[in-house]
Amino acid sequence: ACDDYQPVSRDQAGTVRLQELAGACKALGIRRWEALGYPDGRLAHSNRRSLEAELVKWIRTLRPQVVVTCYPEGEAGHPDHDTVARVTTKAYLGAGHARRFPEHLREGLTPWQPLKLYYAIPPDPELASKIRTKRPFTVVDTSAYIEAKLRAMRCHASQKECSETFAAAVYSNPHSTESFHLAHSRLPCVE
Q: Mean pLDDT over residues 115-122, rounded? A: 88
**pLDDT tens-place string over residues 44-54:** 889 999 999 99
Q: Which pLDDT tens digit goes with each residue over 54-82?
A: 999 999 999 999 999 988 776 556 788 88
How far apart are alpha carbons 79 and 28 in whole angstroms? 26
Q: Tell me which of 179 and 84 has the higher pLDDT.
A: 84
Residues 160, 5 contacting (CB under 8 angstroms): yes
Question: In this predicted structure, what is the pLDDT of residue 4?
Answer: 58
Exposure string over 40-74, b if 16+ CB within 10 A, otherwise e: beebeeeeeeebbbbbbbbbbeeeeeebebbbbee
Percent of the chain clearing pLDDT 70 (strictly above)? 76
In 3D, which of 22, 94, 82 has the Cα closest to residue 58? Answer: 94
Task: State yes or no: pLDDT of 174 exceeds 70.
Answer: no
pLDDT digits (tens, 9 = 90+) for 120-145: 887 666 666 666 665 667 888 888 88
First to last CA, the chain: 47
Pairing outcome for strands 116-121 and 66-70:
parallel
- Residue 117: closest CA among 83, 79, 88: 88
Integer angstrom CA distances of residue 56 from 77, 90, 120: 25, 9, 20
pLDDT, greater one: 162 or 47: 47
Give the residue with greater pLDDT, 108 vs 40: 108
